[in-house]
Amino acid sequence: MYTEKVMDHFMNPRNVGEIENADGVGEVGNAKCGDIMKIFIKVEDERIVDVKFKTFGCGAAIASSSVATEMIKGKTIDEALAITNKMVIEALGGLPDVKIHCSVLAEEALRSAIEDYRKNHMQKS
């Protein structure tokens, strides 16, 4: 039911962990299944220079967050905000219908980390 790409990111997830003193942290929960995803970003000059994630959830959620972190690393904040769950699914070579919400979780966690960064950044300056 899963593509090779999904299995690869599930078995060998990229960018797993936490960033100490992250510039933005996003945490979202999925109401449908109770899974939780946390994304940490480090930002320099409006560019995401580092990103890590922790996901307590299913294989598709782990694969989605793994591929999403790869997609946003090195991107500007605006470029990262343009990433949608559809793009995450495409990057994974597809997801089963019942697992679409797992990719939505990745998009939401990403946005929430960026919102958090923007909030912190405004307070500092």
Cβ atoms 24, 123 nearer than 8 A:
no
**58 in active site:** no
User: CB-wise, 43 or 60, nearer to ligand FES?
Assistant: 60
| Count of residues touching ligand FES (by CB under 6 A) | 11
Q: What's 57's DSSP letter?
A: S
**Amino acid in position 4:** E
Which residue among 25, 28, 51, 60 contacts ligand FES (CB under 6 A)? 60
118: left (phi over 0), alpha (psi -120 to 50) or beta: alpha
Which member of 25, 41, 43, 58 binds ligand FES (CB under 6 A)? Answer: 58
Choose between 65 and 117: whose C-beta lies nearer to ligand FES: 65
Query: With binding defined as CB under 6 A, does residue 26 bind ligand FES?
Result: no
| Beta pairing class for 47-56 and 24-29 | unpaired
Q: Is 102 an active-site residue?
A: yes
Pair 51, 24: CB distance under 8 Å = no
Contact status: 36 vs ligand FES (CB under 6 A): no
Catalytic residues: 33, 102
